[in-house]
């Protein structure tokens, strides 16, 4: 089963995402964090790594771009690849091009998340699990 980790400072975004996941029976193993610093600490321990991360860009404390820079240094040490999908209210082309320059960033989506996008991502990662298993 694919494990999803969501990083967003807005509790409402987490609430909406979890409602969608529950309603459409997707990513049953989802976890939610409000601060990327905590996620980086967990990733350094390399226990129970996610398969994919949904990342907001505009956050206090540690922005999504700063998270990506630090994640980039950790990424080579992971046994299995972790894909990151940006979910942001930013329509800034510079933000999009800067994030997509990282090889582990697989997509950039505007908020709010649409059901079709979520279902497509789930199918991609479910198929990877079936092939690997």
* SS3 of residue 27 by DSSP: coil
Give the separation between CA 4 and CA 23, rounded to whole angstroms.
Answer: 16
DSSP E strand boundaries for the chain: 4-7, 31-33, 52-55, 83-88, 105-110
Q: Tens of pLDDT along 74-88? A: 999 998 899 999 998
From 3.20.20.140, 1.10.287.70, 3.40.50.2300, 2.60.40.10, which CATH number describes the 4-132 domain? 3.40.50.2300
Question: At residue 93, does pLDDT exceed 80?
Answer: yes
Kindly report the CA angle at 100 between 96 and 104, in degrees rounded to 5? 145
H or E stretch at 84: strand 83-88
Q: Tens of pLDDT along 47-57? A: 789 999 999 99
């Amino acid at each position: 089963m694919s494990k999803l980790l969501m990083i967003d400072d807005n509790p409402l975004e987490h609430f909406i995402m979890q409602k969608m996941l529950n309603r459409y029976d997707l990513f049953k193993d989802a976890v939610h964090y409000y601060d990327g610093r905590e996620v980086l600490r967990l990733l350094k321990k390399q226990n129970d790594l996610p398969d994919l991360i949904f990342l907001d860009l505009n956050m206090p404390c540690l922005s999504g771009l700063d998270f990506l820079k630090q994640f980039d240094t950790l990424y080579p040490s992971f046994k299995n690849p972790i894909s990151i999908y940006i979910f942001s209210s930013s329509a800034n082309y510079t933000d999009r091009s800067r994030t997509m320059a990282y090889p582990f960033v697989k997509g950039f989506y505007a908020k709010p998340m649409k059901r079709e996008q979520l279902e497509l991502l789930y199918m991609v990662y479910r198929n990877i699990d079936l092939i690997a298993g």
